[in-house]
């Protein structure tokens, strides 16, 4: 049999509870296009989940890529799509691995090429290192429930920080030379002027990460060592809360319900960064 020649074992069809990307992961675009998901790796082999209709050429390519025996498991197309999205959405981040592919010099014009919007980041072409890095940062920030991404240049280094539970935490220190490239790419995504570096700019990005709709508000600010960028993230899927779920005191909750029931007027929601202003407004809109 062909499966014996390729050192592939076959499993009976059955339900798959969950899957997570292994250390040696197939690119999302390849896995989705060819209907294969490489998972459950060990020193002795791995499990390959397959959608109906997978070609023998695909098996050969994956076997050559993995370099170990594989066990095949055929699942339905609907189940494969669900497991694939869960695996790549919830898998461990590869932000630090992205840094290994970044060189000391890059073509800025290539980095600043046009990007369609909205777009699923996991389905976009990921050959350009800067694009892969930005995609990885956004994906990992959503996974960690971060509300902000801060990219700040200093005299001798570049700092990337996530705001998680109201606290800024440094997650990455790329080479300082990458700062202008990151800023330019983000400006293109937010449809800002990449040539304007002396004035603050504000923009917005609407994108999808593993099927989840995310709004990103972009702010750039000139500094003595280059432009700083703040990305405010709002995961629309995670933000669908009702007012009763926000933890308001009864008096505040009753007052809010009374105000939003009025036919006209304005409500000001104020507070420090990360206090829940946007979440409160989205919950209010959901109620309306």
CATH of the domain at 192: 3.30.450.90
- Neighbour order of strands in the sheet with 226-235: 167-172, 158-164, 148-153, 226-235, 212-223, 201-209
Question: What's the pLDDT score for residue 218?
Answer: 95
Please write the tens of the pLDDT for every residue from 156-198.
889 999 998 888 999 888 888 888 888 988 998 888 998 888 9
Buried/exposed code over 3-31 (b: 16+ C-beta within 10 A; e: otherwise): eeebebeeeeeeebeebebbeebbebebb
End position of a domain, from candidates 55, 90, 125: 90
- Domain total in the chain: 3
For residue 210, what pLDDT is reported?
Answer: 64
Claim to verify: residue 113 and residue 229 sit in the same structural domain: yes
Inform me whether the pLDDT recorded for 122 exceeds 80. Answer: no
Give residue 150's pLDDT band: very low, low, confident or very high (50, 70, 90).
very high
Residue 227 burial class via C-beta count within 10 angstroms: exposed 0-12, middle 13-18, buried 19 and up: buried
Task: Note whether 123 and 201 are same-domain residues.
Answer: yes
Indicate if 221 and 119 belong to the same structural domain. yes
Q: What is the pLDDT of residue 151?
A: 95
Q: Say whether pLDDT at 264 is over 50.
A: yes
Q: Is residue 72 part of a domain?
A: yes
| 109 or 230: which leads in pLDDT | 230
Rounded mean pLDDT of the chain?
A: 75
pLDDT greater at residue 251 or residue 111: 251
């Amino acid at each position: 049999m062909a499966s014996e020649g390729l050192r592939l074992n076959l499993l009976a069809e059955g339900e798959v509870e969950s899957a997570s990307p292994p250390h040696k992961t197939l690119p999302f675009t390849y896995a989705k296009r060819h209907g294969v998901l490489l998972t459950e790796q060990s020193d002795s082999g791995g499990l390959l989940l397959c959608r109906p209709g997978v070609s023998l050429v695909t098996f050969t390519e994956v076997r050559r890529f993995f370099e170990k025996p594989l066990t095949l498991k055929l699942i339905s197309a609907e189940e494969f799509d669900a497991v694939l999205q869960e695996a790549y959405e919830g898998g461990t981040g590869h932000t630090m691995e992205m840094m290994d592919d970044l060189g000391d010099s890059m073509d800025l014009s290539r980095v600043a090429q046009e990007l369609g919007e909205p777009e699923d980041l996991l389905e976009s072409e990921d050959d350009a290192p800067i694009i892969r890095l930005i995609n990885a940062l956004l994906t990992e920030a959503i996974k960690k429930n971060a509300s902000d991404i801060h990219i700040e240049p200093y005299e001798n280094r570049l700092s990337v920080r996530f705001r998680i539970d109201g606290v800024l935490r440094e997650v990455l220190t790329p080479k300082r030379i990458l700062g202008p490239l990151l800023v330019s790419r983000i400006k293109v995504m937010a449809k800002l002027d990449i040539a304007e570096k002396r004035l603050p700019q504000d923009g917005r990005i609407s994108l999808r990460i593993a099927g989840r709709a995310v709004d990103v508000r972009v702010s750039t600010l000139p500094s003595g060592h280059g432009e700083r960028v703040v990305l405010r993230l709002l995961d629309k899927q995670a933000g669908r809360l009702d007012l009763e779920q926000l933890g308001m005191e009864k008096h505040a909750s009753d007052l809010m319900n009374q105000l939003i029931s009025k036919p006209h007027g304005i409500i000001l929601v104020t507070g420090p960064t990360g206090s829940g202003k946007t979440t409160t407004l989205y919950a209010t809109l959901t109620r309306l």
